[in-house]
Amino acid sequence: MRAAWLTALAAALGLAACSPAQPGYDLDKASPGAVDQARLLAATGDGDNWLAFGRTPDEQRFSPLDQVNNETVKNLGLAWSADMDTARGQEATPLVVDGVLYVSTAWSMVKAYDAASGKPIWSYDPEVPRDTLARVCCDAVNRGVAVYNNKVFVAALDGRLIALDAATGKPVWSKVVVPDQKSYAITGAPRVVKGRIILGNAGSEYKARGSIAAFDPETGDEVWRFHTVPGDPAKGFENPAMEKAAKTWTGKWWELGGGGTVWDSISYDPALNLIYFGTGNAEPWNPAPMERTGDNLYTSSIVAVNADTGEYVWHFQETPEDRWDFDSNQSIILADLPINGTPRRVVLHAPKNGFFYVLDAKTGAFLSGKPFTAVNWASGLDPKTGYPVINPEARYEKTGKPFISVPGAAGAHSWQSMAFSPKTGLVYIPVQEAGFPYAAQKDWQPSAIGFQTGLDNAAVAMPADAKVQAGAKQATTGSLLAWDPVAQKPAWSVKYPGPWNGGALATAGNLLFQGTAGGEFIAYSADKGAKLWSFPTQSGVIAAPMTYRVKGEQYVAILVGWGGVWDVATGVLAGKSGTTRNISRLLVFKIGGKGALPPAPPLAAVPLDPPPSTGTAAQIAAGGQTYGRYCSACHGDAAVAGGVNPDLRHSGALNDGAAFKSIVIEGALQHQGMVSFRAALKPDDAEAVRHYVISRANEDLRLEK
């Protein structure tokens, strides 16, 4: 095994010999991706490697390494960098196993590098069809891989789970693990628990029924599956948990799947033998069209299941009767903390809804909960049960009036990973302070393609009004928040000009690392929040950093590349962070690093030059409705795109109705991700959208003048 591994590595790198293995690691037994359950469970004390998504099963994202610390971080410099071959949002956390770095990129590509030198070892492209974007809410992203038993596992955007040989990157097996490839996608990183690959999926804005499943790493065969919402009662229930959940639903929720997808946030406690995961929103967001009432279990909840069987153990619902897209898929941290003077194993969670929860890890019992940012959809939590006291105005489908919720659909905290430091006792949260307007669509009906939210996005679209836009931008910010989970109060915070900043990393060197949407990679003191070091990344950062050690030298790595839902869907507000540039790279730092990035290409401004607006008022209004439902998810609110996807106000097809129709109806650009909307729209609808975009472009042009 040793000879085969050395030969493969030398051939891949073009080297005559392999670098020595990590100190303390037996080279004679070394093989690429040599990770087993014992190593995963011992990861807490293994600072050399970063073996899993959150480093340890408890997802604390805390490293015991301290060579880079308060005193030495000022000498941190670029050791090496690698350009990615896709300019989409980059959300992955790299893994490092015995001196080899594995990272996934947008479009579910996977790459392996020598972790010390940056020399490429192998690259794999699953060739995800670009039209998969039609069933993905939030860019062509991937959050990472898993390594186990000499294999690298990646969940492809189109619903495949793929096992790669860790030495060569060649596929070992590939299986479709979603119910269909029309409404489901996968963006999350697989986890390994007790020798099985644990994975959920995405799709709660489409027609998906959420679930989490365990797969055999040697074959890809499914071992168990737990659904998060009940199916059609007429067909019976898979288990008592589903029968119990069905009592909290009304209407025919199963016709749209129900939602509740597990698109991120999977943790594991080996002592309790429990897997914890968060679930997504109920579908559609607006509950009225499907006559959906009740708490709608187990959506917007944390659920714990038996790691061996997937059997339900407990749940805690954070947002009952969710109509705001307040997913609970944000990172779930397990920790031992003194609660009321008594040590307890607890779950720490900061979901989209703006409240920070502390739960008992064994039973799910509510211990405490406080808002960690501004919240107006609820006035607080019941001190005994943790049940929210919902603001009646927030039930927009009942009032018939728009409701501007704080936080909004992007969440007070989204998928960007938070971290916990056992040394400071603080949780570090990438916070978003951004509202969102909700309005119910009258007479809404499900469609064959696109988002199924039941919202009237046209009614609440950002107007072409300079004062309104300036006010919205001023009110839309972000921060890095250090939160004391025992006292349930902030310890310190750092304000940012915009939201959608990257995930966090805490280290024993009293450091807290985070990348920003404004294009900085920053180190703060973990105890006080003092800014100690920064590096200009040339692109917005949304991923979380990690750290590792090779031959006694500590490295810090971050995947850079602006994108994700904030860029894709928020339009005029996406530029608030200071950059809409995407330069996708892996950046790796060490003390004394002397590397430098090439100069960034100029960010050329593209002037608006639309054709004259000739559509009728009725045509433009109808086009705005159609655009809001079918187009805004990818091309931005009010036809203002964020930067990664095309801004239709600049499209040459606006000048030619036939050309526009060929794209929207006939699918002329389907291989670039723009599929045909023939299943839901007619040629007249496409023409109305064209006139709406022309009208909006002319309004925005007048603003610029």
* Residues with catalytic function: 325
Q: In what order do the strands lie in the sheet with 489-496?
A: 419-421, 426-433, 477-484, 489-496
- Cβ-proximal residues to 284 (8 Å cutoff; 6+ apart), any chain: 256, 290, 292, 444, 446, 452, 453, 454
Name the DSSP letter for residue 142.
-
Taking the C-alpha atoms of residue 419 and residue 415, their distance in angstroms, rounded to an integer, is 12
How far out from the chain centre does Cα 93 lie? 11
CB 273 within 8 A of CB 305: no
Burial 564-588 (b: 16+ CB within 10 A, else e): bbbbbbbbbbbbbbebbbbbbbbbb
**3-state SS, one letter per residue, for 617-649:** HHHHHHHHHHHHHHHHHHHCHHHCCCCCCCCHH
Give the distance, in angstroms, between the CA of residue 160 and the centroid of all CA atoms in the same chain: 18
Contact 422, 60 (CB under 8 A): yes
The set of residues, in sequence order, having a beta carbon less than 8 Å from that of 159 and lying 6+ positions away, is 176, 177, 178, 181, 184, 185, 186, 201
For residues 132 and 139, the answer to whether their CB atoms sit within 8 Å is no
* Structural tokens at position 639: 């036809």
**How big is the chain by its Cα radius of gyration, in Å?**
24
What is d(CA 616, CA 614) in angstroms, rounded to the nearest whole number? 7
Beta strands in 71-195 (DSSP E): 76-83, 95-97, 100-104, 110-114, 120-124, 146-148, 151-155, 160-165, 171-176, 191-193
The dihedrals phi and psi of 571, each to the nearest 5 degrees, come to 60, -115
Q: What is the largest CA-CA distance in the chain?
A: 76
Containing 13, the helix (H) or strand (E) segment is helix 2-13
Tokens of 452: 């199924």
> How far is Cα 166 from Cα 104, in angstroms, rounded to an integer?
13
Give residue 98's region: left, alpha or beta (phi > 0; psi -120 to 50). Answer: left
Q: With contact defined as beta carbons under 8 Å apart, do 615 and 102 qualify? A: no
Those residues whose C-beta lies under 8 Å from the C-beta of residue 314, and which sit 6 or more positions away, are 303, 304, 363, 364
Those residues with Cβ within 8 angstroms of residue 369's Cβ, 6 or more apart along the chain or in another chain = 355, 356, 357, 358, 381, 386, 488
Cβ neighbour number for residue 84 with a 10 Å cutoff: 21
| Distinct helix (H) and strand (E) counts, the chain | 10, 37
Token couple for 698: 């002319």
Q: Which amino acid is at 238?
A: E
CB within 8 Å of 156: residues ≥ 6 apart: 108, 126, 128, 142, 162, 186
